A and B are shown apart, each in its own frame.
Chain A
Amino acid sequence: MNIDATDRRLIAATQGGLPLTPEPYGEVAKWLSLTEDEVVSRLNAMIEKGVIRRIALAPNHYALGMTANGMSVWDVDDEAAERLGAEVGRLSFVSHCYLRPRALPDWPYNLFAMLHGATREEVEAKRADVAAILGPACQGSDILYSTRILKKTGLRLNDPGA
């Protein structure tokens, strides 16, 4: 990992969000006793390295009416799994898409795709869309709906300066 202590301070300062002021990067720079140019170039470098995936607004999909979601899981032939996983991940209603190891005999599924919709019926329709993309490379599938949140804590990086 090639981020330094200053990058980590920058991460700690912005992981709660950007300040809503005309010069947000300049404002963050002031907090950290850096220049705006340094903040901008460090952010761009972290975007380049993939440490920052994007700087953007995240809609609350619950507030916008997408209140149903299901973890769809698929048993996809290994040789086709990467190609098909990439296709499924590109769908606009899939928020997370991963290849994971099977746990045979309990668990034959290797592709996980979180599906979102306004209703469970809509989620089921989207599940059928995914099945159509996977076609004969898929040997079986299931969908797991969450019935209760048992624990939820944000993933936050410890501030090494704190």
Chain B
Amino acid sequence: MRRTPLSPGTLDSVDRAIINALQDGFPVSHRPFAEAGAALSLSEAELIERIGRLREMGAITRFGPFFDAEAMGGAFCLCAMAVPQAQFEDVMTLVNAHPEVAHNYERSHRLNMWFVLACEKASAIEKVADSIERETGIRVLRFPKLKEFFIGFRVAA
């Protein structure tokens, strides 16, 4: 995924209108591009062409359904460790070697390694976290989600 800003002027006002409108939703219907295009005064073909271009240039990361991985039966847990600087690379290698570690970030804090465990079953979370503790000799603090709040996040294009 692209992690740098597009140069100014890459997007025109129509691109921006598309991004702003379709973050909120896309129709589930026979001709959804025609329907969504009409609301933006765009033809079906033009909307399809522009979404393809926005995807190619990396202005959008996804276009389609967003699934709730927990509703599909997965289990997740945010974990954190306080890793001494001298051991950091070794611990990172041990942690990342677990396929259940979905992403892992170094963060500016005494708890400097933060990762998400993603497992098919909830019981596997504790097992993986315990084995990381055994392998590294460092406590794995576990922060399972108790409640998730939805979600006003919008990116103004």
Asked if residues B152 and A92 are in contact (CB atoms below 8 Å), the reply is yes
Tell me which residues from 7 to 61 in chain A have a Cβ below 8 Å from any Cβ of chain B.
Answer: 8, 11, 14-18, 20-26, 36, 40, 43-44, 46-47, 49-61
What residues of B have a CB within 8 angstroms of the CB of A103 in the complex?
Answer: 141-143
Select one of B62, B73, B156 contacting A1, CB under 8 A: B73
Tell me which residues from 109 to 146 in chain A have a Cβ below 8 Å from any Cβ of chain B.
Answer: 112, 116, 142, 144-146
Beyond A82-B147, A99-B147, A150-B96, whether A20 also contacts B48 by CB under 8 A is yes
Q: CB-CB contacts of B77-105 with A at 8 A, as 1s and 0s?
A: 01010100000000010011000011111
What residues of B have a CB within 8 angstroms of the CB of A145 in the complex?
Answer: 107-108
Interface SS of chain A: mixed
Tell me which residues from 119 to 148 in chain B have a Cβ below 8 Å from any Cβ of chain A.
Answer: 141-148
Asked if residues A62 and B2 are in contact (CB atoms below 8 Å), the reply is yes
Q: CB-CB contacts of B1-40 with A at 8 A, as 1s and 0s?
A: 1111110000000000011001111101111111000000
What residues of A have a CB within 8 angstroms of the CB of B157 in the complex?
Answer: 59, 64
Asked if residues A98 and B149 are in contact (CB atoms below 8 Å), the reply is yes
Residues of B within 8 A of A (CB): 1-6, 18-19, 22-26, 28-34, 44-45, 48, 51-52, 55, 57-69, 71-74, 78, 80, 82, 92, 95-96, 101-109, 111, 113-115, 118, 141-157
Residues of A within 8 A of B (CB): 1, 3, 8, 11, 14-18, 20-26, 36, 40, 43-44, 46-47, 49-67, 71, 82, 85-86, 88-101, 103, 106-107, 112, 116, 142, 144-153, 155, 157
